[in-house]
Amino acid sequence: MIPLACCCWMGCDDSARGRFTVVATTSLIGDAVQNIVQEHAEVITLMGPGVDPHAYKATQQDVKHLLNADIVFYNGLHLEGKMADILHKLSKKRPVYAAGEAITPAQQLVDPNFSIGIDPHIWFDVCLWKQVVQYISDQLQAADPGAAAYYQENTAHYLQQLDELHQETVQAIQQIPAAQRVLITAHDAFGYFGRAYDMEVRGLQGISTVSECGLKDVTDLVKFIIQRKIKAIFLETSVPERPLQAVVEGCRKSGYQVAVGGYLYSDALGQAGTPEGTYHGMVQANVQTIVNALK
């Protein structure tokens, strides 16, 4: 925890800030903001490629960025659990918005084994992510009214791209035979993806990587893979691979060979400057990896 006394919560110099500045916690939120503001505003993303937001703790530099922001966006739904206190205190001084507020309770996936029961990985349903983009755009337009028309135009263009991405994803997943549409990953981040694109999903860990997986979890997953004759399972770029490798080894010892289908981007985008460093490219890369391994 960053000591509040050194964070000047009660008095930073607003006049010292230059052009309109937006701070986003995750790379996914940052990408949504960037598509809306383009070059008009400065976008600062706190968590880079491969960073696990479930376990992320704010640094001193993060706190400075947050305090100097005109507006802050975070995922919410307890994704950034270790930043909750800082974000709550900041909301008393700056406009702070949770992307999860764009999703209605009826659209949320609930897991009774998670601390607040709600799955925060809403970006894996492209249609839900469209709601997030529109919500972020609405807040940006209100906070920066001089650029509202520009933001509206950019948002409309990006939402059209997301419509096309959703349809592309639906068609791609249909290449996998129905019996093979089982997605097994390191942690249970793909529930919204499974619901949206007709795939059964199972993770070794729960929906938060903070939870621990034990020997029974590994054993149960090995049995499931063998019983269902699963062809491949998937590692994640932001989660240690050792636990899932134990599942592969467990299958091998039981006389069953399950392939590692590749790495999926789960809680963070890829490297900046690559296709996977954008939301659109990340979804396409994940879908291609899944289809290639399971069809």
On whether both 193 and 154 belong to a single domain, the answer is no
SS3 category, 203: strand
On whether both 119 and 193 belong to a single domain, the answer is no
Domain end point (choices 115, 134, 167): 167
On whether both 144 and 178 belong to a single domain, the answer is no
Most distant pair of Cα atoms in the chain: their distance: 67
On whether both 14 and 147 belong to a single domain, the answer is yes
Categorise residue 293: left if φ over 0, alpha if ψ from -120 to 50, beta otherwise: alpha
On whether both 54 and 199 belong to a single domain, the answer is no
- Report d(CA 2, CA 86) in Å as an integer: 8
Domain end point (choices 135, 167, 199): 167
Domain assignment of residue 26, given as a range: 4-167
Model pTM greater than 0.75? yes
Tally of residues, the chain: 295
β-pairing verdict for 96-98 and 71-74: parallel
pLDDT at position 240 is: 81
pLDDT at position 157 is: 98
On whether both 40 and 62 belong to a single domain, the answer is yes
On whether both 189 and 158 belong to a single domain, the answer is no
Whether the CB-CB separation of 111 and 201 falls below 8 Å is answered with no
Residue 181 tokens, joined: 């549409």
pLDDT at position 199 is: 97
Whether the CB-CB separation of 132 and 99 falls below 8 Å is answered with yes
On whether both 123 and 183 belong to a single domain, the answer is no
Q: Torsions phi, psi of 235, nearest 5?
A: -80, 170
Number of domains in the chain: 2
pLDDT at position 113 is: 60
On whether both 206 and 191 belong to a single domain, the answer is yes
pLDDT at position 254 is: 96
On whether both 100 and 205 belong to a single domain, the answer is no
On whether both 91 and 210 belong to a single domain, the answer is no
Question: Facing residues of 42 across strands?
Answer: 21
| C-alpha distance across the termini of the chain, in Å | 46
Q: For the chain of 295 residues, list the mean pLDDT of each consecutive stretch of 10.
A: 37 54 98 97 95 92 97 96 94 95 95 71 97 98 98 98 98 96 91 97 69 76 96 89 91 96 94 96 98 97
On whether both 99 and 177 belong to a single domain, the answer is no
Whether the CB-CB separation of 228 and 182 falls below 8 Å is answered with yes
Q: What CATH number corresponds to the domain at position 176?
A: 3.40.50.1980
pLDDT at position 222 is: 95
pLDDT at position 14 is: 38
pLDDT at position 114 is: 54
Domain end point (choices 136, 167, 198): 167
pLDDT at position 116 is: 59
